[in-house]
Structure 1
Amino acid sequence: MNAIIPTTNIPLDLRNRHSGLRRPYCLDSTPVLQRQMQRESNARSYPRRIPLELSRAQGVYVEDSRGQVYIDCLAGAGTLALGHNHPVVLEAIQSTLTSGIPLHTLDLSTPIKDAFVQTLFDLLPGDFAKDARIQFCGPTGADAVEAALKLSRTATGRHSVLAFHGAYHGMTLGTLSVSGNLGPKSALGGLLSGVQFLPYPHDFRCPFGLSGEQSIDANLHYIRHLLSDPESGVTQPAAMILETVQGEGGVIPAPDRWLQGLRAITQEHGIPLILDEIQCGIGRTGDMFAFERSTITPDVMTLSKAIGGGLPLSVVVYRGELDQWQPGAHAGTFRGNQLAMAAGDATLRFIRREDITGHVRRVGARLNALLQSLQAEFEWVGDVRGRGLMLGMEIVDPSSCNDVGRPTADGERARKLQRACLERGLIVELGGRHGATVRFLPPLIISEAEIELVGQILYQAAQSVQGEGLTTRQ
């Protein structure tokens, strides 16, 4: 796999400089961080738990202004599929900059745009690609979700939407309306009306108090009954939207059989199925698209993050028969980002050419095994879940149980573990209920040796937060 992380022509080599405990982590803010706190909005998020001033980056490594090097298992919330400053991405950007092509084209066509579309469509499952349409959206994934909702409402003439507990689809008013997290919604009015939330299959915290196949059966039965009950209070939906693997909701993969049952239900009732693959798509789970493993085909798919090669880009891809909206029904000034299309095309072609999905399956299985070994030793590691290189580890309080007999989530200990990782040179993120799930979204090109180093740092960090009356498993 030497071709995965080329080292030639890279002016910066941080790989050998990652030194774990070489430089003690310092809480003193730099002048840049102090100005950030003074001048940036109170809505800023990542700097609160990851207070770093970054200066350089290469591959899976970033370096801060103090010279400390970190393994980046956040990777732009999954955006940096090939890591930081990958040569094929840099070459695509540089060649575009010197080509003389206009960098901003609205939705006018260019050879770069045409190549990007061709490459993306070649990666789609054949039965989806043969009659698919693509709409370029504004630069964020939220705009792709907005477009998908507008498309479905226009095509069906209906207005209500089915969404799921734990979902995250963006931070606009429309996307918050179909997202589960109540925090960002609490101070807002004017959310999308007619949204009905359904239980997402979550084996560790099943809302029906079941597990395994029984949990899947109960979930599908509930949804089927809701849609066929004339007294359910739910009008005929314009769409059903879900993440194939929930990310911000706590790294929860939808079981294949549940997705297959859901696809059958939506087809039976004529409901367009929107799959949000903004974070879980483009090789992240070990398949090019996370839904492929279940062998279903969606009606609509939203994509962003990795498809721009690290630059802002989003699209919605959908079945041709839904293409009922009028010219200008969805637009955006920055939907013609040529640099992002060039970087995205290079990224997609590299992922296919180098069999990155196979690499993700292999190293993801090793990282999963390392997380499970922590679960076996530390009783406050309650659950390990996910697919490929989209993994999560839920931290719990084993001395306290909820009403279905599961240990309660422990967000405080999760934050301590995140900080302990940061102090040892590892960047991870939190998510899920109560912020208790430690999330891993490393670049897809992370090597086996680097996975082992991540495991070592995690174990050291876990040992450091051990205590408070808890012991390792015997």
Structure 2
Amino acid sequence: MTAHPIDLVDTDDPSVEAEAILRRQNARESSARTYARSFPIVPARAQGMTIEGADGRRYLDCLSGAGTLALGHNHPVVTEAVRRTIDSGAPLHVLDLATPQKDDFTEALFATLPSAFADHARVHFCGPAGTDAVEAALKLTQTATGRRGMLAFTGAYHGMTTGALAVTGSVAVKEPVAGIAADVTRLPYPYDYRCPFGVGGERGAELSATYVERLIDDPSGGVTPPAAMILEVVQGEGGVVPAPDAWLRRMRRITAERRIPLIVDEVQTGAGRTGAFWAVEHSGIVPDVMVMSKAIGGSLPLAVLVYHEDYDDWLPGAHTGTFRGNTLAMATGAATLRHIAREGLTERAAVVGALMMERLSQARAALPVIGDVRGRGLMIGVELVDPEGVPDSRGALPPAPRLAAEVRAACLERGLIVELGGRHDSTVRLLPPLTITDEQAETVLDRLTDALAAVTAPRLAGRPA
């Protein structure tokens, strides 16, 4: 068999081999790849928060698999669970049959849930991605209510399959797919810095809630009785925008009074990320459905739907999939959930996250390109703006997506992996593992602020003092 020309690499230089791997990826993988474009590195080894590339360079990983790696890379709790499961001879794939590992994971998961929810809950194991669990949630509530429409929010991200994409807010990913947003009513999410009503704060959140309630009740508002409302407690891909607790309680009241199921997407916020085990705990709301994935698998693919037993109306096979029985992920997931609870990592996330946000907020004086710092726990967003731009009525400056991309690249040069999100991809997102040390947190902030200063210095050089 003749090798492709780009396969012919004969060198002992790891940098050359890494470049060859990147060339092969560029030649063979689809144009839809994303992170590989932002981070032209070849991870070869990883431990904790540190990734080592094939070329020997090391990076602090503040992306954590988009929040999947709650304990960082190759945590001993996770690797031991993998070895133990493999050594036991357990079947690694059994569709949705019962196994000791599945039962143990279910016990571990339910032990973390608010008792008011867990005491009347059912669990459904979905395909391995969060988007499949969102699809299941939509189908579940449509089946239970006999309705079709969905209420979803601006800035939302729920996945890339058809139903999940329909309730996602991003226009760019939906434009090429005709009719993708059918039967979805888009509602204003309370975004303080760029308030849809131009007022922000408590008043902005109050207007959002009032708008939602009146629109649903308006017989000429164009909204037919919906099958569900779906929301994120903190919008991750939407720019790390946290919803006020009072607003969330209002959404719960509005939906409960009208018998509209409330779906909360905890794919990225779950398993301690926001400083509570589940983000709904901050407000005290009890949803009808919770969508979970990412960190619950302990770094391996796993997604589940947990919902109130009253909605368990679908028939056998109503939502199925070949890879719902990932035994290894259930074992690593159970070990991870218990470790987070046992070691108090949710409380740790709250404390370290608050300290990181405080230092970033203080940096705004010296770095006027920082428009806003926000988040919850170890889910932090730094929105970058054009300090020379014209502010809106709320005082928010125009987003700076090109600058944000330059900052991301400058961070990578300094050994820090961060990703962007939000409107116009102008928000730097920090999603470090819950195991981040104080020293690592300081290093992350040092590298980020240094990158910000280096990128913005030429732009600010001509500004008057």
**Shorter-chain TM-score category?**
over 0.9
What amino acid does structure 2 have at the position aligned with 1:185? K
Q: Does 1:395 align with 2:384?
A: yes
Paired letter, 2:263: I
The aligned amino acid for 1:128 is F
Q: Displacement, 1:468? A: 4.2
Match of 1:218 among 207, 218, 240: 207
Which residue of the partner structure matches residue 190 of structure 2? 201
Partner of 1:17: none
Q: Using the TM superposition, name which of 400-409 and 344-353 deviates more.
A: 400-409
Report if the CA contact (8 A) 2:96-2:324 is conserved. Answer: yes
Q: Tell me how far apart the structure 2 counterparts of residues 290 and 230 of structure 1 sit (CA, whole Å).
A: 34
Q: Which residue number in structure 2 is paired with residue 23 of structure 1?
A: none
Residues 32-59 of structure 1 deviation map (CA, whole Å, 9 limit, x = unaligned): 0000000000000011111111100000
Q: 2:166 aligns with which of 150, 156, 177?
A: 177
Residue number in structure 1 paired with 2:453: 463
SS of equivalent residue, structure 1 residue 324: coil
Q: Give the superposition deviation at 1:28.
A: 11
**Do the aligned partners of residues 162 and 473 (structure 1) sit closer, same or farther apart at CA in structure 2, a change above 3 Å counting?**
farther
d(CA) in 1 for partners of 2:390, 2:433: 35
1 CA distance for matches of 2:290 and 2:303? 11
The corresponding residue for 1:9 is: none
Q: Distance in 1 between matches of 2:438 and 2:193?
A: 29
Give the match for residue 304 of structure 1.
Answer: 293
> 1:350: which partner in 2?
339
**Residue aligning to 2:412:** 422
Secondary structure of the 1:400 match is coil
SS of equivalent to 2:334 = helix
Q: Deviations over 1:336-389 (max 9, x none)?
A: 000000000000000011011111111111211221122221111000000110
* 1:60-115 Cα shifts (integer Å, max 9, x gaps): 00000111100000010000000000001000001101111111011100111000
Task: Quote the residue 1:16 is aligned against.
Answer: none
- Return the letter of the residue paired with 1:421: C
Contact kept in structure 1, 2:155 and 2:168, CA below 8 Å = yes
Cα distance in 1 between the residues matched to 2:179 and 2:252 = 31
**Which of the numbers 438, 441, 454 marks the counterpart of 2:444?**
454
Aligned residues: 449
Q: C-alpha deviations, 1:293-336, integer Å up to 9, x for none?
A: 10110000000000000000000000000001111100010000
Which deviates the most, 340-349 or 212-221? 212-221
Measured in 2, the distance between the counterparts of 1:28 and 1:212 equals: 52
Stretch deviating more after TM superposition (110-119 or 462-471): 462-471
Secondary structure of 2:385's aligned partner: strand
Which residue of structure 1 lines up, in the alignment, with residue 3 of structure 2? none
Q: Is the 1:430–1:436 contact (alpha carbons within 8 Å) kept by the matching residues of 2?
A: yes
User: Counterparts in 2 of 1:244-255, with a 5 A limit?
Assistant: 244-255=233-244
Q: Which residue of 2 aligns with 1:439?
A: 429
Deviating runs (4+, > 3 A) in structure 1?
26-29, 471-474
Pick aligned residue for 1:66 from 55, 77, 82: 55
- Describe the SS at the equivalent of 2:398: strand
Residue 314 in 1 paired to residue 329 in 2?
no
2:356 corresponds to which residue?
367
**1:406 aligned to 2:391?**
no
Match of 1:337 in 2: 326
TM-score, structure 1 as length reference: 0.93
Structure 2 distance, partners of 1:243, 1:350, is 25
Using the TM superposition, give the Cα deviation of residue 184 of structure 1 relative to its aligned residue in structure 2, in angstroms: 1.2
Cα offset, 1:287, TM superposition: 0.2
Letter in structure 1 aligned against 2:146: G
Tell me if the contact between 2:18 and 2:54 (Cα under 8 Å) persists in the aligned partners. no
Letter in 1 for 2:362: S
Do the aligned partners of 2:364 and 2:371 also contact (CA within 8 Å) in 1?
Answer: yes
RMSD over equivalenced CA pairs, Å: 1.5
Is this contact kept in 2: 1:158–1:237, CA < 8 A? yes
The code of the aligned residue for 2:407 comes to L
Structure 1: state its 5+ residue gaps.
1-25
Q: Name the amino acid aligned to 1:249.
A: G
C-alpha contact 2:275 2:346 (8 A) present in aligned 1 = yes
Q: CA deviation at 1:271?
A: 0.5
Identity %: 55
Native 8 Å contact 2:18 2:55 kept in 1? no
Deviation at residue 401 of structure 1 after TM alignment: 2.7
The answer for unaligned runs of 5 or more in structure 2 is: 1-14
